[in-house]
Chain A
């Protein structure tokens, strides 16, 4: 299977700006996830997306966050108004807990 690719690999943004993180390819899969990892800390679950709908979200995933599948092959995470504490590595993943996940290489988001 093709690897999961995330773009951009690194993004620097001003506090308060909107960012969109992208994940491809996702065609022929139903389950997708976003996780984040603040530097030096554990990997935290943000949201799971099944059959074009959010199936579960964590407390971290507040109104500033949204996910979309704008077409058949992209999966995006949008942060509407970034805060300093949003600085982290963001990983998308596809798969299921039954068979395991394939993670993308991550996007390092730096909010300044």
Chain B
């Protein structure tokens, strides 16, 4: 199957700082990528759909000014958590595919801890 990578795999930051998470599709071009958030022992919550060359589509209740998404190329999408607070601590997972593609491939996830 296709390979999707994320970087970093974990990050610890101070409250008020910004953190950037990268998601790369390593062996295929992804016009669409997805960002999910997962709380402990819970399912994935879709945050936004990242579209190459255009604005991301955010799900209801997700602050677009806090979670900045940039999809500058067919293999890279970034999620920036701005002015992070402890409640933003979570496991963030990206995926590529879906939409018109039948299978969605997931990155390994990034664990964010905000102190």
The finding on whether chains A and B are genuine partners in a shared complex, rather than unrelated, reads no
Residues in chain A within 8 A of chain B (CB atoms): none
Residues in chain B within 8 A of chain A (CB atoms): none
